Chain A
């Protein structure tokens, strides 16, 4: 990204494959905001800057704006809307539409990654349950998306889409560990995922599904999962 002089004092602490960090990268790109990206080595040891900036959770992503930290990916996205009102907003203007967007971003936040983790970590009955749950989650998102091009509807690519887009790189992993096809279970969602992937902000922020799959393979080995 642009050098420190032009970066509006914005620094993002992230981890390359984290969908939560990627949401922030997508948001910053959608808003045309230059920033300095700092890759945290989560397996080697978290940096002092991270631990000082997020003492409560000690997690990425962390956004620093002129040194002041903002934590939690969805809080960061809303902060970017509030702090940079001159940039394209992620949330729509209408209060009800905003509440609706926050609801669905929250749903994605709480459901997708957690269920996905159980899908690639667990076996037997818990795995079967995670698979059933993931299919249910995808169908629910499919129903919410409906005929819309993006979750943002008339507003265009927005808050929910930025929250959703990084998860699309994980679909291949979920499909292989869950033995199902997103395109079969939720065809419109799969089409939306493809549209998200074509967007410059997303393409520049997420990694290929095969890379994510390989990462999870390595992580399972590290965790001693057969």
Chain B
């Protein structure tokens, strides 16, 4: 596919996954059109191009579709010129893929459960997620971003910390990332949000707070349904 072919992102405003796709394109300097989905009423466009998972984001490059946010980031890295989103060294690349998957597979669910459940179960998830966050904190030692001096795959995977985590903490009163315990993660969040390329496609904080506050009960119910039976 010629890099010049039209690029679209089928996304959703509040979605960190959707953000990753946009951020990758912006980092590469690739112009794109954002098509916003109403997730309660999914479009034919989305369902045609992601029939397996039916989720956002989907990247459309000409007539080609790419699904799954982290796969979209790798695709953008390989299909377009511009600053590299993954390191050049094979072992460093493997580490980047490992940590991106760690954030995706091991952090997403416990984070959600730590935020939106209560009682003994919540305490367990808080302990679990804080242990995972400590591992990520260690990865930031001596580095501005997970990718080093520039934003890369792992930073995009971690984008939740830059806006969504703070909003959830404010709504629930649950504190997961503090200056005392995780100073590097805290600083990373500020640096990420301040970056002119990726910061520009983060959802507005006040608006996100408003949207998520309205969905409190729904999130709590979602979390309850995710608990092991």
Contact = CB atoms under 8 A, between A and B. Distances in A.
A103 B61 contact: no
A109 to B, nearest CB: 10
B137 interface: no
A56 B135 contact: yes
Interface string A86-97: 000000000110
B52 A68 contact: no
Contact of A99 (B75, B97, B101): B75
B71 A107 contact: no
Given A96-B1, A99-B74, A107-B52, A82 B94 contact: yes
B225 to A, nearest CB: 15
Contacts of A68: 91
Contacts of A65: 91
Interface stretch (B31-39, B62-70, B120-128, B195-203): B62-70
B71 A75 contact: no
A78 B77 CA distance: 15
Nearest to B96: A75
Interface string A24-65: 000000000000000000000000000000001000000001
Nearest to B100: A75
Q: Which secondary structure characterizes the binding site on chain A?
A: helix
Contact of A95 (B75, B93, B102): B75
Contacts of A96: 1, 61, 64, 66, 75, 79
A1 interface: no
Interface in B36-58: 52
B97 A75 contact: yes
Interface residues of A, number: 21
A106 B74 CA distance: 14
Contacts of B97: 72, 75, 78
A30 B79 CA distance: 27
| Consensus secondary structure, chain B interface | helix
A58 B210 CA distance: 41
Contacts of B71: 99, 102-103, 106
Q: How large is the interface on B (under 10, 10 to 19, 20 to 34, 35 or more residues)?
A: 20 to 34
Given A72-B98, A72-B101, A99-B71, A79 B93 contact: yes
Contacts of B1: 95-96
B66 A78 contact: no
A95 B79 CA distance: 6
B94 A78 contact: yes
A145 interface: no
Interface in A63-86: 65, 68, 70-72, 75-76, 78-79, 82-83
A82 to B, nearest CB: 4
Nearest to A66: B91
A103 B68 contact: yes
Contacts of A75: 94, 97-98, 101
B78 interface: yes
A27 B98 CA distance: 18
B142 interface: no
Contacts of A70: 91, 94, 98
A98 interface: yes
A99 to B, nearest CB: 4
A90 B91 CA distance: 17
Q: Ordered nearest first, which 8 A-B pairs have the shortest CB separation?
A: A82-B90, A95-B78, A83-B90, A95-B79, A79-B94, A99-B75, A70-B94, A99-B66
6 contacts: A75-B94, A75-B98, A82-B94, A83-B91, A98-B78, A102-B68
Interface of B: 1, 52, 61, 64, 66-68, 71-72, 74-75, 78-79, 90-91, 93-94, 97-98, 101-102, 135
Interface of A: 56, 65, 68, 70-72, 75-76, 78-79, 82-83, 95-96, 98-99, 102-103, 106-107, 140
Given A71-B98, A95-B1, 11 more contacts: A75-B94, A79-B90, A79-B93, A79-B94, A82-B90, A95-B75, A95-B79, A99-B75, A103-B66, A103-B71, A140-B52
